[in-house]
Structure 1
Amino acid sequence: MNYRLPKSERLYADKLIKELFNEGSSFFLYPFKVLFFVKKEEGNGTAQVLFSVSKKKIKKATERNLVRRRIKEVYRLNKSLLNLASKDVSVGLIYVSSDLMEFANLESKIIPILKKLSTIIDQNDSKNE
């Protein structure tokens, strides 16, 4: 299992971020708002992920960075739960809580998000066929 999170799996291009926010779907699972956009054309089955922590909710940059690092680490360790099946997906994980969560708590929140995303992508695949 590849546990890396290379730049190719991070969403950083302005065009793709705008596409995610304008055309993507979303759902809320506390403490995350999850945006996702499944690209129409066939791809190589990768997910590009955006991690965001609100400056309004967590004022100190060091605390925001701590939460962002924890979220990245939980995603990196559990990204295998996303079954993409040759679909390219853009995902945005937006942290909306004002609390600093521990690693274990974040993990218990992100795992159901990844499972739900996987089922949504599978349902979209079956509808398109």
Structure 2
Amino acid sequence: MNFSFPKEEKLKSKILIQKLFSEGKSVSKYPLKLVYVSTSLTKDVPVQAAVSVPKRFFKKAVTRNRIKRLMREAYRLQKPMLVEQLGTTYAFMFIYTGKDIPDFVLIQNKMQGLLEKFIQNELITR
């Protein structure tokens, strides 16, 4: 099992991000939301992911960056479970929709529930 989150798995393409928000589907498990789209990726990776925290609720960059680090770490730990069940490649955007600063245990539990919900949705639509 590879628990790393290398550079190739980070979603940075503006074109792909625009496609994600125009054509993508979403699932949510408060305070997290996952916007995803099935796509062919240029890199040889099963998933490219990005995280986002709105400036609207968290004015200080320090706070936003802390929440993003927590979300990336929770995703990194859940990724092997996700990758073994995927049949195609995806682009993910994780968005934090809460208004208060979370702790890691909350983010980790919600990330696990969110990814399980995503897998259930994808198994139904296949």
* TM-score, scaled to structure 1: 0.87
Runs of 4+ in 1 over 3 A off after TM superposition: none
Bigger fraction of residues in strand: 1
Task: State the match for 1:12 in structure 2.
Answer: 12
Q: Identity of counterpart residues, as a percentage? A: 33
Report the equivalent of 1:115: 116
**Structure 2 residues without counterparts, runs of 5 or longer:** none
Is the Cα contact below 8 Å between 2:33 and 2:95 reproduced in 1? yes
Partner residue of 2:92? 91
Task: Tell me if structure 1 keeps the 8 A contact 2:9–2:45.
Answer: no
Could you tell me which runs of 5 or more consecutive residues in structure 1 were left unpaired when the two chains were aligned.
none
Could you report, residue by residue, the CA deviation over 1:40-86 in whole angstroms, capped at 9, with x for unpaired residues?
79x9661111100010011111011011001100100111221212x
Mapping for residues 1-129 of structure 1, pairs under 5 Å: 1-39=1-39, 46-82=46-82, 83-85=85-87, 87-125=88-126
Q: How far apart, in 1, do the equivalents of 2:48 and 2:25 lie?
A: 15
The CA deviation string for residues 18-56 of structure 1, in whole angstroms up to 9 with x for no partner, is 010000011222102211101279x96611111000100
Query: CA-to-partner distance for each residue in 1:98-127, whole Å, 9 max, x for gaps?
Result: 2110000101100011111122222333xx
Q: Looking at both structures, which has the greater relative contact order when contacts are Cα pairs under 8 Å and sequence separation is at least 6?
A: 2
Q: Using the alignment, how far apart are the partners of 2:44 and 2:118 within structure 1?
A: 17
Alignment length, in residue pairs? 123
